[in-house]
Amino acid sequence: MSDATAVEIARSVNAGESSAAKRARAANDRIAERDGVIGAYLSVTSELARTHAARVDARIAAGERLPLAGVPLAIKDNMCVTGTRTTCASKILADWIAPYTATAVQRLLDAGAIPLGKTNLDEFAMGSSCENSALGKTANPWDLGRVPGGSSGGSVAAVAGGEATVSLGSDTGGSIREPAAFCGVVGFKPTYGRVSRYGLIAFASSLDQIGPIATTVADAALVYDVMAGHDPMDATSVDRPVELASPGLREDLRGVRIGIVREFALTELDPAVRAVYERAYADLEKLGAELVEVALPTAEYGIATYYLIAPAECSSNLARFDGMRYGLRVEGRDVGATYEATRAAGFGDEVKRRILIGTYALSSGYYDAYYVRAQKARTLIAGDFAKAFASCDAIACPAAATPAFAFAAKTDPVSMYLMDYYTIPMSLAGLPSLSVPCGYVTPAGGTSPMPLGLELSAPLFAERSLLGIAHAYERGTRHAEARSIPDLPRTAVAR
């Protein structure tokens, strides 16, 4: 039961062959069995799951047909769900109870999904390993000594470990795609503005985007189709008709042009990793695609550009967490001292680092030299993508330069920031982009193969085309069907 896809579950529940209540019980049993080992969840909402399952079964009995009937759903803990702890994995919000539900989440619940719980993340979604959480530690189900990736590490680990059928993550610079590659699942970031951000606690408002994580492209497309579309509660939501992706899933790539980026040379990668991506490109050709070289000359400035824009927006967004309105409050001798004590105690090192970088970049005398120049570079990056897409339908490149690394293997911020080298340019341009499993490699010092992901990106609002291409690659290579995480111990692992 736990290995069924979302498409299969919805079909069986709608047909009366199974029930949402049975699906909820099976999912909760799997969480109880495994999460002491994986640590994907910060909170498990068993009672809420049972309540929603009963409602779904009643609606089915009344003759309704629901797109996500009985599908177990995990939710990244930076998205609000009424009456649940919504923490952003931060001490400053450790006990905050959300008074409303995010639009993207609500649309999935209305479609019949069952909310299992809230998943771990890097604090305020700032990180690439899920090691920055102040409230828990999540392991990669493939190797419990390795990170799941970040920031949506808990959401990805829940799906990869069989503790949820689908999950929601948020992607600012790669936070869905990189962990999906590390854990051998599908992670999809739609076009910026295509999915409502209402109820998503903001990190960088011009970059954040909610997206689905699943074991198959078809499941990711199903979830996307349900939650995409304009939301008047979100000023950045795009009022443009949604072209459903599920009907456009294809079996081959005949007539498709795939761009291979000149500046993303595979020669820079470890030979074993390079071989996996070379096979992935060859497989695209075998499926009928024409590979064409494209240029992204400004992509190399992606990291520097991102780490000015995102921290600047972070410093503004996180100013609200001051102990005065909600969350942690540490009393000081006066208002200023209370602000200082609350933020010093409530924020972790990485969040403080990014607030300082962003505040500096926005300060008088430096705004034009840093923030404005970064915005100009962002425009150039988006322009290069537009030129590249004039000669191709999608772009293929690595989702990550390495497989998942061991805990504490990257102790300096720069090496961690470079993990998003291949994902950040697409985020700066607002493009739809995903990671799909493309093979396995045994890391240096490792004892078992770890997954890698192929990143595919498409022009703005070309989600249907992108998911169709990814589906053809997935079906043609069958990497996802080969996924088989090792047997997990049944007792909690000290990490």
Residue-averaged pLDDT of the chain: 96
Structural domains of the chain sorted by starting position, each given as residue range(s) with its CATH number in brackets = 6-258+389-482 (3.90.1300.10)
Here the tokens at position 108 are 């999935």
Identify the pLDDT of residue 484. 66
> What is the C-alpha to C-alpha distance for residues 65 and 54, in angstroms, rounded to an integer?
15
Low-confidence ranges of the chain (pLDDT < 70): 1-2, 482-486, 489-495
Tokens 């009022």 belong to which residue? Answer: 239
* Residue 118 falls in the annotated catalytic set: no
Prior bond of 151 cis (ω within 30°): yes
* Residue 151 falls in the annotated catalytic set: yes
Q: CA gyration radius for the chain?
A: 21
Q: Which of 90, 151, 167, 206 is catalytic?
A: 151
* Residue 19 falls in the annotated catalytic set: no
Residue pLDDT, tens place only, 424-480:
999 999 999 999 999 999 998 777 899 999 999 999 999 999 999 999 999 999 887
pTM of the model: 0.96
Q: Which of 18, 43, 76, 410 is catalytic?
A: 76
> What is the C-alpha to C-alpha distance for residues 344 and 472, in angstroms, rounded to an integer?
49
Residue pLDDT, tens place only, 108-147:
999 999 999 999 999 999 999 999 999 999 999 999 999 9
Q: Which of 175, 427, 435, 465 is catalytic?
A: 175
Residue pLDDT, tens place only, 442-455:
998 777 899 999 99
- Strands 394-398 and 450-457, sheet pairing: antiparallel
- Strands 209-214 and 166-171, sheet pairing: antiparallel
Identify the pLDDT of residue 494. 46
